Amino acid sequence: MPIDFDPVFHTETMVQILREQGSTQYAMELAELILQKNPQHEGVRRILEELREEARRAFERFKSGGRSAEAGQGPESDDAGLVGETEASAGEAGTETPQSLP
């Protein structure tokens, strides 16, 4: 769906607001629209490049089943450490973990 903002909102600030609110696609569309009118706008060009890189990384995570491309696949991967951390945190908070129940 094409972005339909009044031209008064075709600004770098609006691109940043859309990005911060998680509307990446709208932010990219608006940035491209601004660059069509003003190809020398370096601030918008930089944000658009960052958005494209974020989208590329998100797609790579999606392709790898949610794992970071840099994450290891063995037992020492980030996922393996999360279980132990969660159990330790629960014990520290004074709550019982399923292993400590009778």
What is the DSSP secondary-structure string of the chain?
A: ------GGG-SHHHHHHHHHTT-HHHHHHHHHHHHHH-TT-HHHHHHHHHHHHHHHHHHHHHHTTT--TTS-SSTTSHHHHHHHHHHHHHHHTTPPPGGG--
What pTM did the predictor assign? 0.60
Q: What is the pLDDT of residues 12-37, one digit of tens each?
A: 999 999 999 999 999 999 999 999 99
pLDDT score of 90 more than 80: no
Q: What is the pLDDT of residues 32-71, one digit of tens each?
A: 999 999 999 999 999 999 999 999 999 999 999 877 655 5
Q: What pLDDT was estimated at residue 33?
A: 95
